[in-house]
Structures are given as structure tokens and as C-alpha cells.
Amino acid sequence: MLSSGSADRSTSYHLDHYTTIVNNSNKDEIPENEYLHTNKYHPTILSNVSPNDSFQFSIVIPHYNQLSFIQSTMDSVFNQKCDNVSFQVTIVDDGSTEWNTKEKLLSLFKHYEQYLNITVIFNRNSGLSFSRNIGIENSRAEWILPLDSDDMIDSTFLLKSWTLIKEQDELQNNIIIIPGLRYIDYKSTFAHLTQNVKSIELGEWEIPVWNANDIKYRNLLHCSGIYRKSLWKSIGGYNPTLWFGWEDWDFWLRADRATKGIKPLLIKGEPLFNYRLKNGMHSFCKENYQLCFSLFQTIHHTEYSIEDVIMAQKYIGIHGQSIKSSIMSKIKVFSDNSILHFWMALIYQYAQYNSETQKFSNISKANDYYTMALDYSPNGVTWQIILQKSLMNLGSVNNYLKSKKDLLQLYEKNKQLEELVLRIYDVSV
């Protein structure tokens, strides 16, 4: 068990004594993270980690209403058999609504602070991705292990991971350490694992062979792969707009493209990562796969054909009424995120769409969202916004000429686009 860098800190604690404003941290320590800094809220931090500490691993545990499970998660971390490997643990509470959450996490902090390098961060509700970003930003380790607060790891996980890392002739940003995954029952505890209770085991996930093309169509790695913090920084962190899940799939896809090909290294032998199965997990995208994948395609539009992306835009507009409230909740937190405004614009636009006449009506709300999407848009996404806004406004007397001009400019850049618009929308200019 590791306690590198810890000391006897038997002081009486109170939350008010440990308020830290992230904005006052050493600016050189804070990465230029395109996703992290869109939330201006500053969290409360409890920590026994000093600014000068450094570790080999940082275990980042996002937490939201998982008080029934986080003790087992922490027990599995505490029981790591790796005396010569240093690590820290960062728990990020995502504005949990369970009764007594702050008091219970404070108690957890006080219990482990003499044995572990531990930090607990209380953030407002911003989602799993943002919680991970906050935890990783505050980490002081070279290697990051994301661990959800209802999952558990084997006692040899960090030691075997470090052994595999040290075996590499050259360590580049593209190396990912992947443990095998075992599914465990909803009621499993750490005691069940240590006692080797087989009844909690629900099978294993056979991790696919990495394929740079396949990752466009399905996720190939689970959430608890270990990677370098410098990789996280280089791709801008986890994407908080993915309110429907798939943040790991998105992360691995972007990591692969940024590094010209990631290199997953599988830890051989028994699975070291225990993934808890619960009723209703990821149920929205199981039931609405095409809608989720359409959202995913508009984010990663360069990965797919232009026709597929346009059809995805249209699908979001036609079938997106059920997700308006979810997107609006994200906009309240990430008000300057272009893709969120774009999705809302599509939904309002197609709510007034007449499939027989191929016309839109009552489009003022959609125009408002398109304007905001353009205001916040990175260059790569702009063509999607201009295309849909122009198609919508061709039927408007006031906006016809500008819409026609914008479409013609898009067509000059891509001749295929004109053919697709004619075929999909029966529109020519």
C-alpha cells in the first residue's frame, strides 16, 4: 500500500477551512483546456497534497449520487499492492443531490488522509466529463487513471500497469494501458472481490483489437485505460457536451487522431478492472442509438461522408424533441458551446418542417440559436451551421439573398455539397 508524500495530519477539519479558488493557482500548472474553462464556477477543494508533490499515477474518481458504492471503490484503491509506485486519489463530486453527501465525503477524506494522497473537490453539477477534467487538471502525476465511483480495481492494477510502462523502449503520448474488464453484479462489494466470490461475476468484455477505422463506428476501449496527462492536455480534455454518454468513445477517437494512432497495451491475465452493471445504464442511447450517433457525427463531421453528416443533421432536427431539455440544461452550464446551440437550432428548425413541401416556417427561434452557434463556432464546424441556416432561410423574403449567397460560397468549396442538397432537400439556387 502506498502513502508516498503523506504525513500525519490529524487536524480537525471543516469544509470552510479548505476553500481553494482554482483561478488563483499557478497559471503554469493549468493546461489550455478547450472544454474545462467554459465553466466559470470555482469548486471547493479539500486536499493533503502539496503543490510540490508529484506522483506516477493519479486516480481520478468523478462522483454523482454514488454514496452506496464509493466506499468499495476507495477500498479497492486503498488496497493497491504497489509500495514502490506513487499515486494520488482525486474525488470530484459533481453536485450530488443525495442527502448528507458533503459530510460523508468529508468523513471519507478524514478516514484516508493519513494513508493516501487524497483530494476531494466539490463542484456544481456539470457532468461526468467536466468532473474528470477538473480532477485531471488538479492532478500532479504523469499518468492518469479515470475510475468511476461505482467501479473497482484489482489490488495489483497499478503495479502491473507500471511494470508494463517500464517495459516500453520509448514512451510517447499514444500509449494507453488497458486492463481486462470483468462485469460485476450491482450489489458487489470490495469484500466480495477479496473473498473471490464467483457469484458476483457476470462475464468479461473481450476488448477488440484496435482499428483506427472501426473506432468511427463503435467504441473499442473502456473508460479506465491509463494514459499520460500530456495526452489529455493535447486534445483538450473530455468533451462535456456529450450529455448522453459516449465521452470515452469521443476521447479515444480524438486521441487516436491527435497522436497519429494510439497504441493500446493490454495487461495480460485476469481482468483487473471490475465494471458494475446497473439497471438503466446507458439506456437512452440503447433505445435511441441513431439519434445519439447522429449527434456524435455532427461533432466528428470530418470522420464521415458529407452525405452522412447532412442526414445526421436532418435526423437530429426531426427526432430531437425528446432531448431539448437535456441540451438546454447543458447550455445553462456551457453557454458558449457552439455545438449545443447548433443542435437546438436544428430541433427548432425541423419542428416547423413540412416534409411534403420541403419548407420550414416559424423559424425565428431557430435563427436565434444559429446566430449563437456561429458566434461561438470554431472554424471546422461553421459549414454545418451555415448550410442548415441558409436552407431554412431560403423561404424568407428578407433573408433569401443572403442565404443564396452563403450557399453558393459553400458550393464553391465543395461541389458535392450542391448535388447532395438537391437530392436530399430538392433545393437548387
Going 305 to 307 to 308 to 310, the CA torsion angle's sign is: positive
Answer whether 376's CB lies under 8 Å from 382's CB.
Answer: no
In DSSP terms, which residues pair with 246 in a beta bridge?
A: none
Kindly state the average pLDDT of the residues 261-265: 95
Distance of CA 384 to the CA centre of its chain: 23
CB burial of residue 404 (10 Å; 0-12, 13-18, 19+): middle
* pLDDT surpassing 70 at residue 214: yes
Confidence tier at 428 by pLDDT (50, 70, 90): confident
Confidence tier at 20 by pLDDT (50, 70, 90): very low
Kindly state the average pLDDT of the residues 370-380: 86
**Strand 181-184 to 273-276 pairing:** parallel
Q: Specify the amino acid at residue 414.
A: N
Confidence tier at 359 by pLDDT (50, 70, 90): low
Instruction: Please identify which residue in the block is written with the cell numbers 439497471.
Output: 279
Q: Out of 35-49, 205-219, 292-306, which region has the weakest mean confidence (pLDDT)?
A: 35-49
CA atoms of 311 and 104, how far apart (whole Å): 48
Distance of CA 373 to the CA centre of its chain: 21
Confidence tier at 355 by pLDDT (50, 70, 90): low
**Confidence at residue 357, expressed as pLDDT on a 0 to 100 scale:** 63
311 vs 193, residue with greater confidence: 311
Helix (H) / strand (E) element for 44: namely strand 44-47
Confidence tier at 37 by pLDDT (50, 70, 90): very low
If DSSP codes are grouped into helix, strand and coil, which group holds residue 150? coil
Confidence tier at 306 by pLDDT (50, 70, 90): very high
CA atoms of 341 and 373, how far apart (whole Å): 5
pLDDT averaged over the chain?
A: 87
**Residues of the chain above pLDDT 70, percent:** 86
Confidence tier at 169 by pLDDT (50, 70, 90): confident
Give the domains, in start order, of the chain with CATH numbers: 15-281 (3.90.550.10), 287-425 (no CATH)
* pLDDT surpassing 90 at residue 362: no
CA atoms of 274 and 76, how far apart (whole Å): 10
